[in-house]
Homo-oligomer: A and B are copies of this chain.
């Protein structure tokens, strides 16, 4: 790992835009209602002047999104290959230039056609092969730490509270939120965090990844690729998300809200050191309150 001074970064614009847009609506009373909605912008990526993809994004951190997208698609293997990432919202485009081109880009794009799928934006085929080589080292974790993080995360989710219709993702270490990103698609938010980790040379092994979104196969794959072994979500999980988590060794904690959570994989890595009191269950009203020995 290089130190901060000598760290190479491509030349990047700083073209983040506001996430929420003021808009008027009519409510159920027929009354005018002012509010905010989430922005959604098309950003077409040109790699050495060749059109590659159009990303739909909130647009707050477009350079990191593009960096993480290129990394997660495995189009770029090293950040040193990149000369510049230049976002131009006037044309809705981002020009990525490399120092020496990408060897075999045509073949790689052609191959992608076959497998690029509806996995919510993932190029899925190649990733599954790569997964076979990933085995993460489990990270011990305490219940107290989970509650500390959940409380801090409540202070984020700003766009969500103002405008809704976005997903938030956070990269966490110990009790700190290192980076919080919101976007219209959770795959974008996780790509932007991957971009941040790549730019800052942040390793995944002692990190925890939080998302408001569901833990589908795609999310588990991306987080595993980033070397992170703990995945915490406010939402639920899918069967394939669980299968992949078991295979690569991701501790999977879902439905995490308030004091509640469900651990679907890796419960052995968790210390239960802050177990909430159980609320006494009210007896059904039809039962006499003092008649039963149970």
Contact = CB atoms under 8 A, between A and B. Distances in A.
Interface stretch (A5-13, A53-61, A173-181): A53-61
Interface in A1-47: 21, 23, 25-30, 33, 35, 37-42
Interface stretch (A74-82, A203-211, A230-238): A230-238
Contact of A184 (B23, B216, B262): B216
B275 A115 contact: no
A202 interface: no
Given A184-B216, A239-B38, A275-B29, A264 B23 contact: yes
Interface in A230-254: 235-242, 254
A51 interface: yes
A185 B119 CA distance: 8
A117 B262 CA distance: 33
Contacts of A56: 117-120, 124, 216-218, 240
Contacts of A93: none
A121 B124 contact: no
A49 interface: no
A165 interface: yes
Interface residues of A, number: 73
A236 B35 CA distance: 11
Given A114-B51, A236-B164, A262 B27 contact: yes
Contacts of A25: 254, 262-264
Contacts of A101: none
A118 B23 contact: no
Interface in A242-290: 242, 254-255, 259-264, 267, 270, 272, 275-276, 278
A134 to B, nearest CB: 18
- Nearest 9 interchain pairs by C-beta: A164-B236, A165-B236, A40-B238, A118-B121, A40-B240, A25-B262, A26-B267, A30-B272, A54-B117
26 contacts: A23-B264, A25-B262, A25-B263, A26-B263, A26-B270, A29-B276, A29-B278, A30-B272, A35-B262, A37-B237, A37-B239, A38-B237, A40-B240, A40-B241, A42-B240, A53-B116, A54-B119, A55-B117, A56-B117, A56-B118, A110-B113, A113-B113, A118-B188, A120-B121, A163-B236, A165-B216
Given A38-B236, A165-B215, 19 more contacts: A25-B262, A25-B263, A27-B263, A38-B237, A40-B216, A53-B114, A53-B116, A55-B117, A55-B118, A56-B124, A56-B216, A56-B240, A110-B110, A113-B116, A116-B116, A119-B121, A164-B255, A184-B214, A184-B238
